[in-house]
Structure 1
Amino acid sequence: MTAQERIERAASALKVFPLPSAVLFPHTVIPLHIFEPRYRALVRDALAGDRILALSQLEPGWEGDYGGRPPMQPLMCAGVIVWDEQVEEGRYNILLQGVCRVRMTSELTEDKAYREVQAEALPDFPYEGPEEEQLRQAVFELAGRVPPSFAENLLPVAARAQGGMLADVVASAVIPEPERRQALLAELDVKRRLEGVLEDVGALIGRLQPLRPTGPLN
């Protein structure tokens, strides 16, 4: 069974971890430290079952009710726990690999400490267009303005990724703000998503100076 099929099977009762500080994209991996009791229970149940959960953003104004069940934004990313370790006091460290976007259609009843939803999986359709090469060229230009260790991780992925995957992996690497990341996650039109990420990369290039060589010049 593919990861996509696992998400589709889990979508009728999808475990959700609302985390306002982080947005997961498909085709990327995020490390998480799980310490709240309700989300320790979520991870424990996920590990005992299909290892599937979704990461979501909360609607604005959540701060006063974080300990309850504030409204969640309906567009989120579902993924697979690809690595885990249990540490002191029953906490977990996990790596969550994003698989696809999902749209929450309804939240299930409160019979568990954590939150579960019914959702619809939203895989990207194949796309080819000039925006792909434009974004790749922008990433190559950006690579000349960032530390080599960062460029070495991003360039191989950007070179082989296509369509929506290209937009997602670049956005995940270069855009830190949760609000902007969520806006790009919620953009289901691949062409517009590529254009949006290209704008962000272009703005970043404009703020950075090319790196000067550090070795001797011949």
Structure 2
Amino acid sequence: MTERLPLFPLGSVLYPGLVLPLHVFEERYRRLMADLTAGPEPHRFGVVAIRDGREVAPTGADAESPALAGLGPDPHRALFEMGCVAEIAQLQSHADGRFELLATGTTRFRILSIDATGPYLTAEVETVEEQTGPEAKVLAAGVERIFRAYQKRLAGARESSVSGTQELPDDPNILSYLVAAASVLDTHDKQRLLAAETASDRLRAELRLLRREAAVLAKLPSLPAVELTRQAFNPN
């Protein structure tokens, strides 16, 4: 299924089922939110990660186009191909035009074409269906085990000194996205997890990534874990 969505480029990755807090202050995104809320519910937009993980200063013709501001002249090259639909759950508007909102990731999409002629980017996108894949339950059990150990290392605590355990979802798809969101990884790694064809593929990749990260943490006893933990749950 295809549809047209307004795009909200970010320096981070949104996953289905995860919550995204946003403070909207730039003019082009104020306009996006105003247009969305003037229409019928649900109010939905597409979140897509910027390839270099941050916006760049506009120059030349780019500076004259609000939709392209900070992305360079070619949004196809500046943005990843796959993103996630965000549905607004809470919205507060301010007298000065700013918005504070909470949105929830719903479904993945693949960008087919981008229109930069308006005040903000819009795109024709196709929905990417979720697939579980083979051996998902077995892989999920392995990811859960290593993720718990990874969290404890990240918190700077010995496994034996940590009391209580966080409840993790049984569904392999949901677990795969939660682990992807909560792990301290760079944008490219996080994007590869979003783009995985099946939950099994995502979980298999997470096993490799978590083992890699756990090995790094084991060699860095003075790692500023508080800052890393904050980054893991901060989408901006």
TM-score by length of 2: 0.71
* Residue of structure 2 aligned with 1:132, choices 140, 147, 166: 140
Asked whether the equivalents of residues 131 and 198 of structure 2 are also in contact (C-alpha less than 8 Å), the reply is: no
Asked whether the equivalents of residues 16 and 115 of structure 1 are also in contact (C-alpha less than 8 Å), the reply is: yes
Q: Shift of residue 98 of structure 1?
A: 0.6
Partner Cα distance (1:175, 1:161) in 2:
22
1:36-185 to 2 correspondences below 5 Å: 36-49=26-39, 50-59=42-51, 63=56, 65=62, 67=69, 70-71=75-76, 72-87=79-94, 89-108=96-115, 110=117, 112-127=118-133, 128-147=136-155, 155-156=166-167, 159-185=168-194
Q: Shift of residue 103 of structure 1?
A: 0.6
Aligned CA distance change for structure 1 residues 161 and 99 (closer, same or farther; 3 Å): farther
Instruction: Name the SS for the 2:3 alignment partner.
Output: helix
* Residue of structure 2 aligned with 1:203, choices 192, 207, 212: 212
Partner Cα distance (2:3, 2:115) in 1:
9
Partner Cα distance (1:181, 1:107) in 2:
22
Which segments of 5 or more consecutive residues in structure 2 lack a partner in the other structure? Answer: 63-67, 157-161, 222-236
Aligned CA distance change for structure 1 residues 120 and 161 (closer, same or farther; 3 Å): farther
Asked whether the equivalents of residues 175 and 200 of structure 1 are also in contact (C-alpha less than 8 Å), the reply is: no
Q: Shift of residue 176 of structure 1?
A: 4.0
Instruction: Name the SS for the 1:160 alignment partner.
Output: coil
Q: Shift of residue 62 of structure 1?
A: 7.0
Partner Cα distance (1:136, 1:62) in 2:
34
Partner Cα distance (2:131, 2:92) in 1:
35
Partner Cα distance (2:3, 2:151) in 1:
42
Aligned CA distance change for structure 1 residues 172 and 59 (closer, same or farther; 3 Å): closer
Asked whether the equivalents of residues 17 and 53 of structure 1 are also in contact (C-alpha less than 8 Å), the reply is: yes
Q: Match for 2:126: what amino acid?
A: E
Moved over 6 A (4+): none
TM-score by length of 1: 0.77
Instruction: Name the SS for the 2:143 alignment partner.
Output: helix
Please give the root-mean-square deviation of Cα atoms over the aligned residues, in Å: 2.8
Between the two proteins, what is the percent identity of the paired residues?
A: 24
Instruction: Name the SS for the 1:124 alignment partner.
Output: coil
Aligned CA distance change for structure 1 residues 31 and 109 (closer, same or farther; 3 Å): closer
Q: Shift of residue 73 of structure 1?
A: 2.2
Asked whether the equivalents of residues 23 and 181 of structure 1 are also in contact (C-alpha less than 8 Å), the reply is: yes
Q: Match for 1:185: what amino acid?
A: L
Instruction: Name the SS for the 2:87 alignment partner.
Output: strand
Partner Cα distance (1:51, 1:116) in 2:
14
Q: Match for 1:29: what amino acid?
A: V
Which segments of 5 or more consecutive residues in structure 1 lack a partner in the other structure? Answer: 1-7, 212-218
Aligned CA distance change for structure 1 residues 35 and 62 (closer, same or farther; 3 Å): closer
Instruction: Name the SS for the 2:153 alignment partner.
Output: coil
Asked whether the equivalents of residues 143 and 155 of structure 1 are also in contact (C-alpha less than 8 Å), the reply is: no
Partner Cα distance (1:205, 1:57) in 2:
25
Aligned CA distance change for structure 1 residues 143 and 12 (closer, same or farther; 3 Å): closer
Q: Shift of residue 146 of structure 1?
A: 3.8
